[in-house]
Copies of this chain bind each other. A is one copy, B any other.
Amino acid sequence: MSTPLPVAVDAMGGDAAPRCVVEGALLAAERDQVSSMLVGDEAKIAEIDPHLSSHPLITIRHASEVVEMGAEPASSVRRMKDSSIVRAAEAVRDGEASALLSAGNTGAAMAASLLRIGRIKGVSRPAIAVPFPVLGSTRCSLLDCGANPDATPEMLVQFAQLGTVYARSRFGIESPRVAILTIGEEAGKGNALVKDALNLFENSDWAESCGANFVGNLEGNDLMAGKADVMITDGFTGNVVLKSLEGGVRIALDAIRDALGSTPAAAETAPVLDPILNPLFEILDPNLIGAAMLCGTKGVSVISHGSSSSDTLANAIRTTTEMAASSIVDDFRAVFAPK
């Protein structure tokens, strides 16, 4: 039996990189027996744990450059051929790694995936899927969360196809409920893009092509309410919604957590309340939204938060390994294959 390929992890990507990335890979190896290829500055990576090079589940791939968080993505990726994100994407392209994971510059991860791993034939624009928490149910995946700030109606239809395959592969939903994110559920509401898209959604055979259950228009407050498994929007709106919800929910949860420890009497409630509240905080914590996937490339490419902790990264490595082991890329291919 052959050993499964490792996930190529951009060791230099993330606010606390490479330390948190290395620690995340170690944690993933220990907890879930999944293997990582850490791509980045060999000396800096090795420095963090001297035994790393002899770890059975971890390999190091040297890359001399780093695309910084604020750098312009496309030109950086074109210019910095020995950057960790480019080398990590090449490892996927060359069949040396099963998938790509980065907590660094999101645009650079997208650009490297598009330029080195490449689009699936028939997919005009890959899109980012982010699964939002739904209490007591499966998550609701929003596409596009930032890859295509200016979208066309045709692109929204493709995002819906990509999202359907994603929700089925990631969450096992056979016939995902797919909705357009808009402002007012009536058909006449929305902006020009959504109105044109609705027409296309209702008058084409996209849903049959991928096995979606199209449920029409929904609003922002439906995102975490369990009314759909996939919601579709342009990359500008999707990214603004993602950041707004992450920010708002984090502010609310942090304030409540602080308040619960703000007086000695309040702190004494912890033994009673921690077991009840911690699972909730965990489901709702925006940091744990974690792994966003770029859907539509010829390999699995996952983007994690810049602020990811080693624990979050370990989870992301496990999820990425699972996605790479699934049939998701072949499933995308089957939907977009020329008929």
Contacts and interface: CB of A to CB of B under 8 A. Distances in A.
B233 A248 contact: no
A266 to B, nearest CB: 6
* Stoichiometry, copies per complex: 2
Interface residues of A, number: 61
A276 B280 contact: no
A242 B241 CA distance: 9
Nearest to A226: B251
A244 B272 contact: no
13 contacts: A149-B191, A182-B240, A183-B239, A220-B240, A221-B244, A224-B248, A225-B251, A237-B240, A256-B280, A259-B276, A263-B276, A265-B272, A269-B273
Q: Which 8 A-B residue pairs are closest in the complex by CB-CB distance?
A: A221-B247, A220-B243, A220-B244, A149-B191, A183-B239, A191-B236, A269-B269, A221-B243
Nearest to A253: B252
Given A183-B236, A183-B240, A247 B265 contact: no
Contacts of A246: 220-221
A192 interface: yes
Contacts of A107: 184
A149 B183 contact: yes
Contacts of A96: none
B243 A219 contact: yes
A188 to B, nearest CB: 7
B262 A276 contact: yes
A245 B246 CA distance: 9
Nearest to A149: B191
Nearest to A239: B183
Contact of A249 (B149, B237, B239, B249): B249
B266 A272 contact: yes
Contacts of A135: 251, 255
Contacts of A232: none
A248 B247 contact: no
A237 B182 CA distance: 9
A313 interface: no
Nearest to A72: B188
Interface string A257-272: 0011011011011001
Most chain B Cβ neighbours within 10 Å, of A192, A225, A244: A244
Nearest to A234: B191
Most chain B Cβ neighbours within 10 Å, of A192, A259, A262: A259
A277 interface: yes
A245 B245 contact: yes
Contacts of A237: 236-237, 240
A329 to B, nearest CB: 27
Nearest to A222: B247
Nearest to A245: B248
Contacts of A182: 236, 240
A225 to B, nearest CB: 6
B225 A247 contact: yes
